[in-house]
Amino acid sequence: MTRRMIFPLVLGIVGTAILLSLGTWQLMRLQWKTQILNGIESRLEADPVALPDNPDPVADKYLLVKVTGDIGGQELHVLTFADTGPGFKVIVPMTLPDGRRILLDRGFIPETAKQTPRKGGRTTVIGALVWPQETDKYVPEPNLDKNIWFARDVDLMAKTLGTERVMLSVLKSSNLSGVTPLPVNVNIPNRHLEYVLTWYSLAIIWIGMTGYLIWRIKRKTA
């Protein structure tokens, strides 16, 4: 081996090691994320339980619960889109028999049904506890005059409707009244397999480029 080959060889080994380590790290992240998503799926498929006394935003997120209470009064409309077109998610307060009040995401209505009265009263629902992370600096403030919200802001909605900072996303309801329950949106991206393939592919390319460079140097010094 000539002295001219040492630097590209070292560079090739170091670069390959870095790329392989990044791919392995993403593989570990993929396994971790898959476990989380599988856990959420299992929780959403489990038998519903009673609403906890003090629901925890971390420990009880996506917990499937069954409650009966009274709904009615003020609605909050969150702008959204479904396969059928634009519309709103309907958020209402639900008062439980023990006096507790929680937020209820009843589901989707088309834009044309915004002003349509919906039946309230005693209702039994099965749904998942959610604390959606939908607000950031790019999301506009709600238009309170027109009752158009652009995200489910649990804290602000709870303050507006006088409820606990708890939201139940309805999956089944004894009182639909023109509202279509929506699947729970598990907003946890999982692109780690793509990253694994990218880093490992780059490692293979790096090895090939290193081999080609050493071959070129060897030809010139032969």
- pLDDT, one tens digit per residue, over 150-161 is 999 999 999 999
| pLDDT higher than 70, residue 1 | no
Phi, psi dihedral angles at 206 (to 5 degrees) = -60, -40
Tokens representing 143? 């238009």
For 132: left if phi > 0, alpha if psi spans -120 to 50, otherwise beta; the answer is beta
Residues of the chain with pLDDT > 70, as a percent, come to: 99
Instruction: Give per-residue pLDDT as tens, 28-46.
Output: 998 888 887 877 787 888 8
Q: Tens digit of pLDDT for each residue in 108-158?
A: 999 999 999 999 999 999 999 999 988 888 899 999 999 999 999 999 999
Q: Is 166 exposed, middle or buried (0-12, 13-18, 19+ CB in 10 A)?
A: buried
pLDDT of residue 188: 73
Looking at residues 4-23, what average pLDDT do you find?
A: 89
Against a cut of 0.85, is the pTM above it?
no
pLDDT above 80 (res 187): no
